[in-house]
Structure 1
Amino acid sequence: MQLSQTDGAGVRDGGACAPPLLRVEGLGLRFGGIRALADVSFSVARGVICGVIGPNGAGKTTLFNCLSRLYAPDEGEITFDDRCLRTVRAHEVPRLGIARTFQNVALFDRQSVRKNVEAGCFLQFGGRHVSALLRNRRGAEDRREVAACVEELVSFARLREVADVPVSQLSFGTRKRVELARALAMRPRMLLLDEPAAGLNHEEVEELLGWILEIRDRMGISVLLIEHHMNLVMRVSDQVVVLEFGRKIAEGTPDEVATHPDVVRAYLGGEP
């Protein structure tokens, strides 16, 4: 895997006339009598960083769980690269080019950082698992490719000094970097980041901002970002979608959303 997979500027320029990479139309989901999502619609173009914000309980992670097929929506459609996701099973989503991180970090605690990142390389083997087990020449080539990918991502996420440490021994912020590296190892076309700045200090948030831009600009990966750190969202996003009580109340550029009356009311309880 090369960090400079794609010229991100070229991706964004082409996105103006190309169909959206992700399209969500009329998405709805109920949990018993609770309306978790209601008629949510938006689209994300190729090469775009889209922030999803809203108060606690707004439905942001529920939206991500629908996109990654952990939840099956009751209404609406989700289209990724012109393919409907309603019939796609959860384990098939990464093969389509969608990877994600979780609000509560999900890693193999007893395994090292390097082994956790390596787990994200599973898709790179295609159907060649037998070759890897038999240790023939094709398997050896696969292992070298995976090792190079892991080392590159360990370096990118500033994890080299702890590469052989079990992740259970690491701080929450470091574990988040491990999960990010593992998601990138899947070579996604869209990366879903669920509150990546949670638990990070100021310096780590600034570093995260740079990584997100590099993921888009150098790797050519579109990013959908859930985040409560408003300064980060407004600085890094091209597009912002605002949810409240499961409904979309605003969408636009960061400047447009920051002054939208419904957004001001939702966050501050008053008028702008």
Structure 2
Amino acid sequence: MAENSSPLLSVRGITLRFGGVVALDDVSFDVMAGQIAGLIGPNGAGKTTLFNCLSRLYQPSAGEITFAGKSVLAVPRHKIPMIGIGRTFQNVALFDRLTVLENVMVGRHSRTSAGFVESALRLPSVGREEPAVREKAMDLIEFMNLGAFTHRVAAGLPFPIRKRVELARALAAEPKLLLLDEPAAGLNHEEVHTLESQIRRVRDVQGVTVLLVEHHMSLVMSVSDKVVVVNFGRKIADGRPDEVRQNPDVIRAYLGTPASA
């Protein structure tokens, strides 16, 4: 895997306070283009809070986030998909009355020229773009092995299928960086194994850099090129999975006891 010398994503000194509570404390790390990076830590460590800073849902109290060399914090939150950052969420939020195809097509809106008014009024410009949007959505449906569900409404779909639809929808915007928030939550062992393959294919076939928050340690350690560990809002480790696995601070954070010699 070739890597450029400059990181695709650079997090520098990110601190976030909610009143007197310090949710993130001087967190810094890089993600290189083409990497799969894992962000782990015990419950309440600040992982999703950091994701919310990356996607502009939260405004850090201090620090800087750059993406492809430009400040993320200077970008309005509604334009985050347009600069190349996509995201999935812990709680899958599909449009249940729409079909799988329509849900994935919605994810393409940030790459179309028609605005809200044009779309609402179904102006000619919308009609001209729709075939290309549909074609891209169908490609992603096939990529995620969702062909059998193309015209099914999202309501009532099995949970693992809903997660794959959400992932396809995130990819529809052609992100350079995809933030996956606990993608293995609610999946059984076989489904997690399938997810691991899908994440690798997202990187290898779609050319998308991946940063995932996850509690499923075997998934993180097997799929990640690097792992960042946070605890009580502070970074305590950053390195290859084998290095992080043996880090005494990481063992202490998860087990509550010092590492054995």
Amino acid at match of 1:197: A
The CA distance in 2 between the partners of 1:256 and 1:53, in whole Å, is: 14
Out of 53-62 and 86-95, give the one that drifted further: 86-95
Report the equivalent of 2:240.
253
Q: Which runs of 4+ in 1 moved over 4 A?
A: 127-132, 138-141
The CA distance in 1 between the partners of 2:86 and 2:123, in whole Å, is: 29
Q: Cα 1:50–1:14, aligned 2, differ >3 Å: closer, same or farther?
A: closer
Out of 205-214 and 181-190, give the one that drifted further: 205-214
Report the equivalent of 1:112.
99
Out of 48-57 and 144-153, give the one that drifted further: 144-153
Of residues 130, 133, 138 in structure 2, which corresponds to 1:143?
130
Out of 247-256 and 216-225, give the one that drifted further: 216-225
Amino acid at match of 1:53: I
**1:181-217, CA deviations, whole angstroms, 9 ceiling, x for partnerless residues?**
0000010000000000111112211111111111111
CA contact (8 A) 2:46 2:232 kept: yes
CA contact (8 A) 2:47 2:213 kept: yes
Report the equivalent of 2:253.
266
The CA distance in 1 between the partners of 2:110 and 2:26, in whole Å, is: 34
- CA positional deviation for 1:171: 2.1
Q: What 5-or-longer segments of structure 1 have no aligned partner?
A: 1-8
Aligned residues, how many?
257
The CA distance in 2 between the partners of 1:204 and 1:134, in whole Å, is: 42
CA contact (8 A) 2:3 2:32 kept: no
Report the equivalent of 1:244.
231
1:56 aligns with 2:39: no
Report the equivalent of 1:33.
20
- CA positional deviation for 1:89: 1.2
SS of the equivalent of 1:183 reads: helix
Amino acid at match of 2:178: L
1:99 aligns with 2:119: no
Q: What 5-or-longer segments of structure 2 have no aligned partner?
A: none
**1:97-134, CA deviations, whole angstroms, 9 ceiling, x for partnerless residues?**
00000011122122111111110111221247859933
The CA distance in 1 between the partners of 2:83 and 2:9, in whole Å, is: 12
The CA distance in 2 between the partners of 1:218 and 1:154, in whole Å, is: 14
Report the equivalent of 1:43.
30
CA contact (8 A) 2:181 2:214 kept: yes
The CA distance in 2 between the partners of 1:30 and 1:175, in whole Å, is: 34
The CA distance in 2 between the partners of 1:155 and 1:203, in whole Å, is: 20
Report sequence identity in percent: 54
**1:52-108, CA deviations, whole angstroms, 9 ceiling, x for partnerless residues?**
000000000000000000000001000111111222111011100000000111221
Relative to the length of structure 2, the TM-score reads 0.94
The CA distance in 2 between the partners of 1:29 and 1:221, in whole Å, is: 28
SS of the equivalent of 1:167 reads: coil
Q: Cα RMSD over matched residues?
A: 1.7
